[in-house]
Structure 1
Amino acid sequence: MADTDPSPAASVLEKLKSYVRTRKGSILAVEIVLSFIIIICFAASAYGGYSALAICEMIFAIIFFVIFMMDFDKQIQFINWTWTDLFRAGIGAVLYIATSLFCVIGGSGDGARIAGGVFGLIAGILFGYDAYTVFQDIKNTRGRSAASTDDRV
């Protein structure tokens, strides 16, 4: 007898496929992949300590990916997930750009460090774009909710 109900793993896989096709899902997926590449580059470098930033940002991106993919942001209402995501992306952009510039400028003779810095600059731009899109969503949502419905005007 065949089970007609899809298994929980199949529904998670379908949520994953559909979420990666969205703009936010694809941005978070690329952030995760770029952070992983940066971890590999910095781990191969003589200065492996720079990989801590990439590890933290990758973990945060994975957490937010899972939260948004599984719609936990709609179930856990006591945290403002939009603002939290804006701070995550904004801080990640600033830290990636600063660290990557330092690695690219001072990384002579260490190709892995320079490669990590270049990928870090790309990640910093991507995180900045993510922060910009989240900020635009906040701005558009605030403009709609702040509209006056008073008939006396």
Structure 2
Amino acid sequence: MADTDASPGANCLENLKSYVKTKKGFILAAEILISFIVIICFAASVCGGYSAVAICEMIFAIIFFVVFMMQLDKQIQVVNWVWSDLIRAAIGAGLYIITSLIWIARGSGDGACIAGGVFGLIAGLLFAYDTYTIFLQIKSARQQASTDDRV
């Protein structure tokens, strides 16, 4: 064991700070935050059964945030992390948009349910933007690979 002055948590905190400053890190952090806001809105409303979408999507976003922040995607290569992230974001966008429209339509008289629906629509758009950025990343990687094959 080597003597170091830094605590083990300091490296994780530095990774967290530097990863949140990246585009992908900021998007994942925003997904976690907006999902948490939706969970709070549904905890205050009478239609709390719909909070399962927000809970699941927040947990998946946290998992991918930790994997990418700690660069575990480079160590665990059994899973194709980029495609898994694309599927996660696409399903999240679809589920948030569909359920948010239901929440807004049924939420008459329940302000917290309508607020959860509006934040859910924002979350759906954020997840859709994440899907788009991942798709562009895959597309550029494929173009680069085809250019490398020609050389």
If the length of structure 2 is used for normalisation, what is the TM-score? 0.95
* Structure 1: unaligned runs, 5 residues or longer: none
Task: Name the structure 2 match of 1:55.
Answer: 55
Q: What does residue range 108-147 of structure 1 map to in structure 2 within 5 Å? A: 108-147=108-147
Q: 1:149 to 1:35 in 2, by over 3 A?
A: closer
Local SS of the residue matching 1:6: coil
Q: What does residue range 77-96 of structure 1 map to in structure 2 within 5 Å? A: 77-96=77-96
Asked if 1:106 corresponds to 2:128, the answer is no
- Report the Cα distance in structure 1 between the residues aligned to 2:37 and 2:150, rounded to whole angstroms: 54
Report the Cα offset of residue 149 of structure 1.
4.3
Asked if 1:36 corresponds to 2:26, the answer is no
* Structure 2: unaligned runs, 5 residues or longer: none
- Report the Cα distance in structure 1 between the residues aligned to 2:34 and 2:53, rounded to whole angstroms: 12
Number of matched residues? 149
| Identical amino acids, percent of aligned pairs | 67
Report the Cα offset of residue 5 of structure 1.
3.9
If the length of structure 1 is used for normalisation, what is the TM-score? 0.94
Local SS of the residue matching 1:147: helix
CA-to-aligned-CA distance 1:93-140 (integer Å, 9 cap, x gap): 000000001111221001110000000000000000000000000000
- Report the Cα distance in structure 2 between the residues aligned to 1:149 and 1:83, rounded to whole angstroms: 22
Stretch of structure 1 that moved more, 105-114 or 18-27: 105-114
Report the Cα offset of residue 6 of structure 1.
2.0
